[in-house]
């Protein structure tokens, strides 16, 4: 009978477990951020979190999200595999000056915290009246071509 013995198997397994914990810590609060119309939308993954533990604060231009995930393993239970991070987690985001931080909104559903931050009125695109030396006035829209601009086809 031939027995295969690998003295490094347990060391490899322990090293992989330690590295996976370190890799997962950076992804505990994975998020997406995008602009939707006149709002900045943040979606933060918080699966298994009690909504009452979520704390969202805004101070100056820093938005802080923190939450707590309790362990499902109780005293007397024997953990076979315990890879899901537990405890209190926090993430800070530095927001730009063009946002209306007084009107931040938040909603938690299906393990996702959605935070909406309106773009400040003064930071929104607006129409500007343009006058010429001849006194002719026109309106420029920051999102379109100037009035009277000619386009030619080749």
pLDDT tens sequence across 102-146:
999 999 999 999 999 998 877 667 788 888 887 666 665 655 544
pTM above 0.85, yes or no: no
Question: Could you tell me the two tokens for 43?
Answer: 């979606």
Residue 151 has pLDDT above 50, yes or no: no
> Which pLDDT value is given to residue 138?
63
CA angle (88 as vertex; 83, 94 as ends), nearest 5: 110
* Number of C-beta neighbours around residue 67 at 10 A: 23
Going across the sheet that includes 39-45, the strands are 31-36, 39-45, 112-118, 105-109
Cα–Cα distance for residue pair 21/97, rounded to 1 Å: 36
CATH number for domain 9-124, candidates 1.10.357.10, 3.90.1140.10, 2.60.40.790, 2.60.40.10: 2.60.40.790
Cα–Cα distance for residue pair 59/52, rounded to 1 Å: 21
- At 41-99, the pLDDT tens digits run 999 999 989 999 999 999 988 999 999 998 888 889 988 888 888 889 899 999 888 89
């Amino acid at each position: 009978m031939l027995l295969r013995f690998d003295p490094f198997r347990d060391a490899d397994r322990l090293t992989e477990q330690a590295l996976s914990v370190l890799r997962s810590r950076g992804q505990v609060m994975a998020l997406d951020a995008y602009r939707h119309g006149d709002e900045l939308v943040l979606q933060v993954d918080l699966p298994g979190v009690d909504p009452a533990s979520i704390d969202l604060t805004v101070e100056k231009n820093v938005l802080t999200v923190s939450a707590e995930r309790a362990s499902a393993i109780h005293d007397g239970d024997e953990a076979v595999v315990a890879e899901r991070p537990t405890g209190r987690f926090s993430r800070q985001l530095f927001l730009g000056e063009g946002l209306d931080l007084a009107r931040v909104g938040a909603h938690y559903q299906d393990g996702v915290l959605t935070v909406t931050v309106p773009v400040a009125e003064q930071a929104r695109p607006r129409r500007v009246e343009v006058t010429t030396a001849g006194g002719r006035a026109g309106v420029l829209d920051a999102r379109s071509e100037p009035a009277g601009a000619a386009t030619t086809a080749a």
